[in-house]
Amino acid sequence: MLSDLIAHGHKVQTIAPPRGPLGFHVMATGAGFEKRVNEVYNWEGLKRGDAPFVIIQHTIAGRGELDYAGARHVLNPGSTMILSFPHANRYWLDRGQTWEYFWIGANGREALRMIRTMIDLKGPVVTPAAPAVDRMADACLRLMGAPELLSGEVSAAAYEAMTALHDGLFGAAPAATPVAPPIARAQNFIATHLGEPLGVDRLALVAGLSRAHFVRRFSAEAGLSPSDFVFAARMERAMRLLVATDQPVAAIATATGFANGNYFAKAFRRLHGTSPGEYRSAAAAGG
């Protein structure tokens, strides 16, 4: 509970549990409850090493500042900052300000997948529901006692924080809205032909609609334009292949319909802040 964390008082805990024979796909690297008062506090996302990791940081009082890929955000009480590293971000305390917050750092392929997906869907600053904040605070409080915790307990607490954040942002899964048959045909065609050219004209033909009518209906029902939907489907498939296979990056690019390996690598880095090879290595290492 948030009240229990506040009652506990400020503390920062670095976590380095011994690696077991199995490894975990979510592992906490640290946790803390801190208060910064009119001091130098500045973190840059491209100056924190090459090893991928994530941070969840919830503001309790005061105000922080975040620059995320050139966009400015204010971190007010009740807001949660979610970041993955390495990435072009910077967060700091303005002169004369106070910022009180709790945070959890983690690594592992599932930690990276969950946080990056949340950022893609909701952005780097979110306002989760109060029950989720309580669950995250409870996980933080448990992690602050990390020297006495086993590796599995550390992983479970970090994963609990992430699932709490998920529930606080997305709640119960909404009932599926039926997709009109023409749009469903196009989506199924995309899923089974990702390695082929998937221009709007071809998809409109599959759907049996005029080009203009198809674009309007697809965008309304899918929430993305046809081209954005195809790109997202290709990127998701490519990410799965990077983790699940040892195919060369160029072969994965071809299999998922990207023009070439260089274009795929640039698009991947722009979206995820890391190269396909680095992402694969981090996933294989569980880091």
Q: What is the pLDDT of residues 166-208, one digit of tens each?
A: 999 887 655 556 788 999 999 999 999 999 999 999 999 999 9
- Which structural domain, as residue segments, surrounds residue 19? 2-170
CA dist 32 and 79 (Å) reads 17
Q: Supply the CATH number for residue 77's domain.
A: 2.60.120.280
C-alpha distances out from residue 49 to 52, 80, 105, 109, 222, Å: 8, 23, 14, 17, 38
The total of structural domains in the chain comes to: 2
CA dist 136 and 134 (Å) reads 5
Q: Supply the CATH number for residue 235's domain.
A: 1.10.10.60
pLDDT over 50 (residue 138) = yes
Please tell me whether residues 153 and 203 are part of one structural domain.
no
Per the listing, tokens 């899964």 go with 173
Last residue of a domain, one of 147, 170, 193: 170
Please tell me whether residues 158 and 228 are part of one structural domain.
no
Please tell me whether residues 109 and 250 are part of one structural domain.
no
Please tell me whether residues 186 and 106 are part of one structural domain.
no
Q: What is the pLDDT of residues 206-226, one digit of tens each?
A: 999 999 999 999 999 888 899
Please tell me whether residues 132 and 190 are part of one structural domain.
no
Q: Span 6-31, mean pLDDT?
A: 79
Please tell me whether residues 88 and 185 are part of one structural domain.
no
Q: What is the pLDDT of residues 42-81, one digit of tens each?
A: 888 888 777 888 999 999 999 999 998 888 889 999 999 9
Q: What is the pLDDT of residue 31?
A: 92
pLDDT over 50 (residue 287) = no
Please tell me whether residues 6 and 147 are part of one structural domain.
yes
DSSP string covering 159-192: HHHHHHHHHHHH-SPPPPPPPPHHHHHHHHHHHH
Last residue of a domain, one of 116, 140, 170: 170
Residues 6+ apart with CB under 8 A from 164: 128, 132, 135, 136, 139
Share of the chain above pLDDT 90, in %: 41
pTM: 0.62
Please tell me whether residues 35 and 128 are part of one structural domain.
yes
Distance of CA 147 to the CA centre of its chain: 27
